[in-house]
Structure 1
Amino acid sequence: MDERVRRTVETYERVADEYADRHGDRSVVADIVEAFVTAVDGAATDSARVDPATPGGEPDPAGPPRVLDVGCGPGWESAAFAEADFDTVPFDLTRSFLDRARECVPDGTPVRGDMRALPFADGGFDGLWACASLLHVPERDVPATLAEFERVLADGGVALVSLEAVGGPGEEIDASPYDDDRRHFERYDPDRARDLFETAGFEVVSVATDDGGSDDDADAGDDWVAVTARV
């Protein structure tokens, strides 16, 4: 495992409870959650998705929309998608977060893994949500990671990915809201984010920026860029 990713996961394992306390108010993402749910509902209508649990699965368009929550954290948005009657898969590399996600989505099946190599069949999901998670992937690995996102989405599937947008492309920062915070971050400007998605084969629907209102000292007042894209 990349050393930067390893340090990030180790930090989250250690501060999972504090992180949940800091970020439990999800009103800051309520609007984009609602927009994503609406988009996925539309994408699922004519979906040709396959069973996401097995490589090479058979086409399976029946049933509720399927959503992959990449970097699900404690599972807050996974719970929101489940409440929208989506078949939701919480996905994270941090075991402590997945334990919480199991509580948030008792009928779901959380999966532990690295977003750079998603363990799912091609075309298995109608939607992919990655809120403040791709920003931990080293910039050199982001193109291949976005190619993985594109791979697991069905034709017409929707991805919504939020990143911190500060400074130039691929700017690494040192954020320290926790004691001995060793997380790795990358920040992107909107143009760089758009280019990355288009290169990965997505049709970019929108690139929106907003003040995230984070209560982390290192993040307060910074803009977030939310990319909505289709396969």
Structure 2
Amino acid sequence: MPAPERSGDPADGREVAVGVRATYDAVAREYDRQLGDELDGKPLDRALLTGFVEMVGSGRIADVGCGPGQVTRFLADQRADVLGIDLSQGMITIARTRSPKLEFTVGSMLRLPVPDGTWAGIVALYSIIHLTEDERAIACREFARVLRPGGWLLVAFHVDSQQFTIGEVNRLTTWFGQQVEIDGYFIDPDQVVAQLQTAGFALTAKVERLPVPEVEYPSRRCYLLARRR
């Protein structure tokens, strides 16, 4: 993952958050304020997560790219043994404050800080959208490595929108009121399926949906459910 840093903006003297970690640290509070309860308006997401918990059964589920912990909290409410992990210390601090009884840790999906076969399930909702194609392949291999045989993965990402087609990059310079430099990718579902299969997963389900009006960014989204072979 690109090395995060902060640099001055010569245009107006403000700091610019550069890279994934620095960006999410910079926007963490406003992100949580606006999106911390977003699942309330996403019935399909809630249904998929509820079904995922049932399919996993016993064993720990990791919410990879957990942000301020909204999905982690929902999984815990479904009686899941759950851990939240995120690259951003700022996000993890908010998640711990909002849910002090749950476990959260800082870590990268490109090098997950657990031994092989540790987890029974992984949820990665929109966690791969800042990764290049090569980085996504690494993340898929890491997901396979840390899942036990037969373990489950649920991954979601943006496919396209009115402004961006599949394969295009949205380079953000302002986000949640902060000056940033971060890329967001619109991803071909077939590409992700191929990467998962190469990493050792078998695809079980593929769901695409249109955006929920006035709740989220207006993009077409894809959800992939896969099982570790």
- Normalising by structure 2, report the TM-score: 0.82
The change in CA–CA distance for 1:118 and 1:155 in structure 2 (over 3 A counts) is same
Point out where structure 1 has 5 or more consecutive residues left out of the alignment.
45-63
Is 1:152 the equivalent of 2:164?
no
Alpha-carbon distance in structure 1 between the residues aligned to 2:213 and 2:146: 30
Q: CA 1:28/1:148 → structure 2, altered by over 3 Å: closer, same or farther? A: farther
CA distance in 2, matches of 1:43, 1:13: 31
Instruction: State the alpha-carbon separation in 2 of the partners of residues 226 and 126 from structure 1.
Output: 19
- Is contact 1:82–1:105 with CA below 8 Å preserved after alignment? no
Match of 1:172 among 155, 169, 174: 169
Conserved 8 A contact 2:27-2:175: no
Q: Distance in 1 between matches of 2:220 and 2:75?
A: 25
Displacement of 1:121 after TM fit? 1.7
Task: Identify unmatched segments of 5+ residues in structure 2.
Answer: 6-17
2:226 aligned with 1:229, yes or no? yes
Distance 1:141 1:114, change over 3 A: same
User: CA deviation digits over 1:157-209, x for unaligned, max 9?
Assistant: 1111111102334x322244433132221211222222221122111112211
Identify which range, 35-44 or 193-202, moves more after superposition. 35-44
- Matching residue of 2:30: 18
Q: Distance in 2 between matches of 1:36 and 1:155?
A: 20
SS in structure 2 opposite 1:185? strand
* Aligned 1:49-68 pairs, distance under 5 A: 64-68=58-62
Answer yes or no: is the 8 Å Cα contact 2:29–2:94 preserved in 1: no
Residues 27-106 of structure 1 aligned to structure 2 (within 5 Å) = 27-44=40-57, 64-106=58-100
Asked if 2 retains the 8 angstrom alpha-carbon contact of 1:82 and 1:88, the reply is yes
The CA deviation string for residues 71-91 of structure 1, in whole angstroms up to 9 with x for no partner, is 000001111111122111110
2:158 aligned counterpart, secondary structure: strand
Task: State the 1:110 CA deviation.
Answer: 1.1
* Cα distance, 1:214 vs structure 2: 7.2
Q: Aligned-pair RMSD on alpha carbons?
A: 2.3
- The alpha carbon displacement at 1:28 in A equals 4.3
Distance 1:28 1:223, change over 3 A: farther
- The separation in 2 between residues aligned to 1:3 and 1:108, in whole angstroms, is 28
* Corresponding residue to 1:119 among 108, 113, 117: 113
What's the offset of the Cα at 1:150? 1.1
Taking only the aligned residue pairs, the percentage that are identical comes to 26
Cross-structure match for 1:9: 21
More strand per residue: 2
